[in-house]
Chain A
Amino acid sequence: MRQLSAVAVCGALVLLAAQSKAAPGQVSLSVSSKRPQLGETFTVQLVALTDRGSPLPSAPKLRGPAGIVARGPDISAQTRVNIVGGKVIAKIGIAATWTLRATKLGSFTIGPGSVVIDGKQVLSRAVRVIVVPAQPRATRQPFDPFDPFSFPGMPKLPGMGASDDEEDEEDEIALLPPYPGEYRLERAADPTAFLRAEVEPRRAVVGEQVTLSIYAYGQRGPFRETHTSEPSREAFLSFTLLENSYAEPMYRVPVGDSVWHAKKVRQLALFPIRAGKLVIGAMRLGFDGRGYPSDGPHRGLVRYSNPIELPVDEPPVAGRPPGYKLGDVGRYTLSASVTPREISAGEAVSVVAKLEGTGNVPFSLKVPRKTAVEWLEPNIIEQVEPRGSTIGGFRRFSYIVRIDAPGDIDLGELSVPFWDPERGRYETARATLGRVTVRAGGANGASPEPPPRDPLTALGPPRKSLGNAEASATSFSRQPWFFPSLLLSPLLVVGAYGGRRLVQTARQRAKSAAEDPTKLARSMLAQARQAQKQKDIATVATKAESAIMWGIEYATGLRARAVLKEQLPAELATLGLDADTIALIQEVLTACDDVRFAEPLAGDELYERARALTERLLKLSPRGDKRAS
């Protein structure tokens, strides 16, 4: 039994080693038709791919037999992306296309083709074709030697025979043989020829199959494909469903009011490898045939398909099972077998699991690792290929599982969670592995090797529960109000101080305004004027005297009411008032007294004299503040 296990382990190692010995690149050769007709052109394509970062393949060559004439090659860049074990592996390279024409009947071997990769010449396999006699070609219109415009490829003149043509078209449309609905189209994108690219579905999740179909429409009769370039699709894992149009039937399809020739030229199964708005580039194709003016030697009438922007999302997070790997989308079943079921400790069992289904079959399984059960990396055999319009197949994973602990060991189950786009939910494909009886005593009676010293012992034990973490509110310093509000408090203090100063100043000003001698003098004069109009002579005298007193205070700063009238001239003289003004003051004040106590003076005259004196005083420079102090 031990020998059997050892053989199994060795076999697995040999297989792994064989797999790891990789060729410098992948080279393939394909032919558009394996039974070309004599004189017919057909193409041979050599695709050479290497890992990204390696030098690009160069110098493509094709060995052709006598009897077949080759032109070319046309070289275009190629990119292919694969997901292996959850890792995206991109390969880049070239596609070299030769256009061939058979000049002899018989069986011919074309190739092998060769390219130089990293300084080494790498050969492809050869392909075999059988050239058959040419079949008579059906013509679209009978040739009329007397109608110069009936030559094939010649444009029709407007108005000439149009009515007959239209009737013919209508009859033709009515009598068309059936054609698939996917070719139906309302309007032509070009009057002569065009390409149309379609994807289905128009919105996808990462890893879901999206089918890209490209159709060619020609208005001037049958055509062949030439001078092509493939649509760029870097964000997709790509499988070819239809590589070229040679084997595809051509349909006559009504587009608008006329009948077109249409065929599907490409069909690809694309698997998006990331989310976002992913772009599928344009495909170039030359329409080669009668009636299609060529854009250059061997180019045909060149047209491009419409690029497509495809929105791609991730499958929903809600309900996502543990271990789900982005891109595992489809529908799968999983089965597994374990042999042998009884071993000694330290020996290994073989676990073979087969995962099959439709979609991009996952590249890895979730294995039930546990202490003392060691799973080596699996050897994978796969067969994933187009099945009609979908991709499907299987991957077989062969594991070597070494068990060190004796006992009745439950291996657990293999599983792979995936998103089922048709059901719109997550599923898990499982395979239960059952139990293995492990006898005590290792291989050759040796005890298992001691585990290597773990340099990461500093990490300590795992945490047993989710502690009371603080669910972070957004840091308050990130609020837009925070930094301006730091200035709020100091500004409030400054504002309060400023406000207090303002109030004080306002009060001061109000007080000053209330004691302003000028205003008071004018106010008194106004009251005197009012009294004078009412013929109230006594009041005129009182108010006029007050006006003069305020005028004196304004001009000299002297509070004249507090000074005896007899002493007033001397005081005023001391304060520097001129003698004329002093005399006038004395005179008017006396007149005011006289009005009250002796014979009255005319009210008008008294008022006018008092007014003139007050105005005179108010015109003097104010010196009251200095003198009052």
Chain B
Amino acid sequence: MRASAAACAFLVTSSLLCATTAAAPAESERLFQEGLAALERGAHDDAIDRFELMADRGFSHPDASYNRALAYSARAQSSSPRPGDLGRAAAALAETLELAPQDSEAEKALLAVRQEIARKRARGGDEPVRARPALTRAVLELLTENGWAVLSIAGSVLLSFGLALRFFAAARRPRLAGSVTGGIGAAVLLSCGCAGFLATRMHAASRPAVVVVAEARLLDDSGRPQQAKDGAPTAIPEGETVYVHEQAGELNRVEWGSVEGYVSAGQLRFLAQEVRLP
């Protein structure tokens, strides 16, 4: 009886954790192959057009985002670069990592693109600008939302098991074991549950985006440039990831590390957060 209940619970949890796997539709596959062919023959504009069209149609896939990043970075290194190409490459790589967090190749590439942006800024005489990371976000991003959720489930199960031992076991030792197990479970449930809840709320309340212009000036809510105070940065460099909390007309309220302010909507590129194969 207990074994069958455990098996059922495992199946339910597995079905919740495992996402469905589906093949890309033919039209998107065709666009992807055309973009790939264009990329290989050096037709960066064509490649960008095709990968961007896939994104416009709501198709989001880590491999398509990765190739889009390659197309932008190739154009950035070509003889006819466009302003913001490296920022867009960084955005596409950050999107790849949003969709496939374990993609180490994309992680290295994003680092390389950001280093190249920093080199360009340095060549232009700009000082490197960094924002202190916000502690809450840093802690909550230690795990994914589902990671926090799974730990919370484990805490709930431990607490339940401990309580059952504590309440129903007749012997003293199992009752003591139940108390210890229940205590640990309660602590795990409380901490991971709160973290998971906060991560979910934070995720729902903001969207990640990347700066795709040379520098996004931080503004106040009326659109006036923020004044520099206490050495806080007044502009966000190209390729940096920000979190958009609110869209107010042409302005977006963003969080960049511990810095908050408004930037013009056209200076940001939002990242797809879920794989979509429409």
Contact = CB atoms under 8 A, between A and B. Distances in A.
Interface in B25-78: 28-29, 31-32, 34, 36, 39-46, 49-50, 52-53, 56-58, 61-64, 66-67, 69-70, 73-74, 76-78
A487 B193 CA distance: 10
Contacts of A497: 163, 167-168
A482 B149 contact: yes
Contacts of A176: none
A478 B204 contact: yes
A183 interface: no
Contact of A486 (B31, B99, B153, B167): B153
Given A317-B57, A456-B116, A463-B67, A486 B163 contact: no
Contact of B45 (A324, A367, A496): A367
B163 A490 contact: yes
Interface stretch (A238-246, A247-255, A369-377): A369-377
Contacts of A474: 274
A61 to B, nearest CB: 32
Contacts of A371: 41-42
B160 A489 contact: yes
B157 interface: yes
Q: Which secondary structure dominates where chain B touches chain A? A: helix
A6 to B, nearest CB: 18
Contacts, number: 180
Contact of A462 (B24, B70, B111, B185): B70
Contact of A477 (B109, B149, B167): B149
A462 B80 contact: no
A470 B31 contact: no
A374 B80 contact: yes
A450 B181 CA distance: 68
Contacts of B196: 477, 483
How many interface residues does chain A have, given as a range? 35 or more
A471 B53 contact: no
Contacts of B173: none
Interface string A368-407: 1111101111000000000000000000000000000000
A413 B29 CA distance: 24
A465 to B, nearest CB: 7
Contacts of A372: 42
Given A370-B41, A471-B21, A459 B73 contact: yes
A323 interface: yes
A458 interface: yes
A366 B45 CA distance: 8
B148 interface: yes
A471 B149 contact: no
A473 to B, nearest CB: 5
Contacts of B74: 456
A93 to B, nearest CB: 19
A454 B79 CA distance: 12
A468 interface: yes
A472 interface: yes
Contacts of A492: 160
Nearest to A375: B80
Contact of B63 (A377, A466, A486): A466
B42 A455 contact: no
A466 B39 contact: no
A476 B204 CA distance: 13
21 contacts: A88-B266, A322-B52, A323-B49, A324-B53, A366-B46, A367-B45, A369-B45, A369-B46, A456-B113, A459-B73, A462-B67, A467-B63, A470-B20, A471-B276, A472-B274, A477-B152, A486-B156, A488-B156, A489-B156, A490-B189, A493-B163
Q: What are the 9 A-B residue pairs with the smallest beta carbon separation, nearest first?
A: A371-B42, A477-B149, A323-B49, A472-B274, A458-B112, A497-B167, A470-B19, A322-B49, A489-B160
Interface of B: 16-17, 19-24, 28-29, 31-32, 34, 36, 39-46, 49-50, 52-53, 56-58, 61-64, 66-67, 69-70, 73-74, 76-80, 99-100, 105, 108-109, 111-113, 115-116, 119, 145-146, 148-149, 152-153, 155-157, 159-160, 163-164, 167-168, 185, 189, 193, 196-197, 199-200, 203-204, 266, 274-277
Interface of A: 88, 317-318, 320-324, 366-372, 374-377, 452, 454-456, 458-460, 462-478, 482-483, 486-490, 492-494, 496-497
